[in-house]
Every structure is written in C-alpha cells, then in structure tokens.
Amino acid sequence: MSSVLSRAVGLLPGRGGPRPPDSAAVLSALPVPVVVIDQENRFRLVNHAAEQFLGISVSGLAQLRLPDLVPADSPLYLLIEQVRQTESSVANHDLTLESPRLSKSGITVMGSPLPEEPGAVVLVLQDSSAALALDRQLAFRGAARSVTGMAAILAHEVKNPLSGIRGAAQLLEASVVDSDRELTVLIRDEADRIRALVDRMEAFSEKPIQRTAVNIHRVLEHVRRLAQTGFAEHVRFQENYDPSLPPVWGNRDQLIQVILNLVKNAAEAIGPPSTAHPEIVMSTGFQHGMRIAMPGTAERVNLPLYVAIRDNGPGIPEDIRPHLFEPFVTSKASGSGLGLSLVAKIVGDHGGLIEVDSHPGRTEFRLHLPVVSEKDSD
C-alpha cells in the first residue's frame, strides 16, 4: 500500500533532507473520503473523512461489505466493474447512494485500480452538492453586502416618503365614502408591507457581532415554541439533541433569527396540502474534523458542533438551487427571498458554515458553528 501511495504522490525516498511524511498519515489527514475495497467488495481501508462520510467507524466498516451499505442495483457497482475490467480510472458524477444506512445524493465517485492487489479498487467520494453549496456561500457573502448598501439607501429614500403616504391614506380613510375606503386600506397595507421589507433588509448591517457563550439547545427550544404556537401549528417536531455539547461562541439573538428562518422555511415547505405527515427534525451533535480557514488570516477555526434542521417536504425547487443563498430569490408568492441570505450572512459572520442536502421527501440545512474556546472565555 505504502509503495503505491509514495509513487502516486511522487515522493522520492533517499534524497537526503527530511523524511517524507508517512503515506498512511497523509491519507488519514486527507479531507476527502477515500475507501479501498477488495475483490469481494469488503472494506480494506477507509480514511478518517470516509468514516465521517459513511457515518460508520473503521471497526464497524471492517465487519461490512459494500452491499451492506449500497444496494446491489446502484450504478456504483458498474463503475467498480469498469475499473476492474479496464484496469483504468473511471469517474461518475451525480450518483445517489440511498439505503437504510446511507442517504447521499450528488456524489462524485472516482475509482482506480490497485495494481498490487488484483480486483481491489480505490474509491474517492466527493459530495459535490456540499462543495457547490460552500462555493455559493462564499459568493453570496458579496451579495449580502450589496443588500447592506441598498438597505441604507432604501431607509432614506423609501421609508420617509412611505410614512407620508401612509399618513395621507389614513386621513383620507376618515372622509371617503365606504366604497372607496377599501382603496385607502389597500394603500395603508401595502405601505406597511414595504416598510416591513425595508426593516428586514436593515438586519444586514455591518455591525461587529457581540458574542457570548450561547446554549444552542435553549435557542432551539425557544424557536420550537415560537413555531408551534404560530406558523408551524400543523407540524410534528422531533428533537434529537446531544446534551453534552459545549456552548456556541455567538450572538443569541442572531442565532435565534437563523434557526427561526430555517424552521419557517421548513414549515412553509411542508404546509398543507403539500405534505401528508409534516415533520421537522431538529438535531445537534459533534462532527469532528470540520475546520475552516478564516478569510484573510492564517487562522483555522474548528467547527465541531452542528445544528441540523430537516423537513420531509418536496425539496428545494431545481431552479432555485443555484441561487439559494442570494437575496431576493424566492419561489413563494409573498416571500421576500431574504431569509436564507440573512442566515448565510449571520453564519458567515460567526465564522461558521452551512451545508444543504435536499431531495424530495428530505431537506436538511446543517450549520457548523464554533464553540467557546479557552481563549474566548478569558
């Protein structure tokens, strides 16, 4: 194994200088899931990223064969057979790996033969939907910033005249005949709607966030209560929390806003009559190995905590997906399309990340957030 890897990465032993790093250590550190299966499709080697990707530990995988995780009719087996027969690398995009133990879509799989071990295949798995979502998040940060500037202009140019229009409509209301009153009410309501929109845009301000240690479970509880007594009365909630999690290093009000926007979207997606048994699952847990480089610094932030909001609705519409986090993107008649854009901005300001996985019957937004470190509590 090590000779194969050394050759593949072009390490030349015996040149003097420092010893090349151990291939197994490199493989383990690689943030891309890598799996080696033998001729009988047993797992021979998995790296750390693959354990996370499959959600099963090395010792668990050692007992399993690929068919225990991926059903026999999956195109993955065609790819593996092609690699064995042609003894060359084969790639397949946008695969869905769906079984009772695994649910992943938009997966890119690359397979290569291992010449030293006949029939063995190296598989590199990549969640391209998550990678794309991350890309987009970086792109939308700029978009959110453009909302900031626009909100300031709107506040100035729209809000002031708007209150004048609203006041005038109210005055008219008292003097017009009944049949025209409907029109003055319409003017007032529409003025209120525009004002609410401008108010929401003002949430995109560039103020630095005030952080404290936040108990994320209290935040989730709070949002669930708000939701259940209001917009999500029709929904069954399920909570799946890891009580041992440390506090998040963040701003409580902003985190409430983030979770509220996600739960509201989920509730709207499973609103009657679209989903027969509407359900939202809120969960938290540890996810090791999630790190992000802070823009403009050499610092790497650990994001060991995740919060996931999942619904059983129809999934995110295809035409929305490429622009999901951009402002003003909406599929709803009365939506402003600011919810996810604001979510993304706040999570970005916290140094966190969002992943999205959506297909019919299952949509999950997963936030990765920083926890309080010793440095923060000084």
Ligand X SMILES: Nc1ncnc2c1ncn2[C@@H]1O[C@H](COP(=O)(O)OP(=O)(O)OP(=O)(O)O)[C@@H](O)[C@H]1O
Interacting residues with ligand X (CB under 6 A): 261, 265-266, 269, 311, 313, 315-317, 320, 324, 329-332, 335-341, 363
Q: Which is nearer to Mg ion, 111 or 327 (CB)?
A: 327
Shortest gap between Cβ of 198 and ligand X (angstroms)?
Answer: 13
What does the chain come to in residues? 378
DSSP string, 8-56: HTT--TTSSSSPPPPHHHHHHH-SS-EEEE-TT-BEEEE-HHHHHHHT-
According to the 3-state scheme, what is the secondary structure of 260-294? HHHHHHHHHHCCCCCCCCCEEEEEEEECCCCEEEC
Give helix then strand counts, H and E, for the chain. 13, 14
Q: Which does 126 bind (CB under 5 to 8 A by kind): Mg ion, ligand X, none?
A: none
Nearest residue to 236 (alpha-carbon basis) of 315, 311, 307, 316: 311
CA dist 54 and 33 (Å) reads: 9
The site partner of 161 among ligand X, Mg ion, none (C-beta below 5 to 8 Å per kind) is: none
Q: Which does 269 bind (CB under 5 to 8 A by kind): ligand X, Mg ion, none?
A: ligand X
Residue 338 contacts which entry, ligand X, Mg ion, none (Cβ below 5-8 A, type-dependent): ligand X
Q: Binds 129, which of ligand X, Mg ion, none (CB < 5 to 8 A, cut-off by type)?
A: none
Is the Cα dihedral 272, 275, 277, 283 positive or negative?
negative
Residue 336 touches which member of Mg ion, ligand X, none, C-beta under 5-8 Å by kind = ligand X
Min separation Cβ 374 and ligand X, Å: 36
Kindly state the tokens that stand for 318.
Answer: 């295809």
- Residue nearer to ligand X on the CB measure, 113 or 313: 313
The single-letter DSSP state of residue 176 is: S
Nearer to ligand X, 250 or 339 (CB): 339
CB of 304 to Mg ion, least distance (A): 28
Bridging pattern class, strands 300-302 and 34-37: unpaired
Q: How far is the CB of 265 from Mg ion (least distance, A)?
A: 4
357 DSSP β-pair partners: 364
Least Å from the CB of residue 358 to ligand X: 6
Q: Establish if 363 lies at the interface with Mg ion (CB under 5 A).
A: no
Task: Say if residues 255 and 248 touch (Cβ distance below 8 Å).
Answer: yes
Q: Which one of Mg ion, ligand X, none is in contact with 311 (Cβ closer than 5 to 8 A by kind)? A: ligand X
Asked whether position 341 contacts Mg ion by CB under 5 A, the answer is no
Q: For Mg ion, give the closer residue by CB, 339 or 352.
A: 339
DSSP strands (E only) in the chain: 34-37, 43-46, 90-99, 102-113, 121-127, 212-214, 236-240, 248-250, 279-286, 291-293, 300-302, 305-311, 353-359, 362-369
CB of 237 to ligand X, least distance (A): 14
Encoded one letter per residue, x for contact with Mg ion by CB under 5 A and - for no contact, window 259-278 reads ------x-------------
Shortest Cβ contact with ligand X: which residue?
339
Interface contacts to Mg ion, rule CB under 5 A: 265, 339
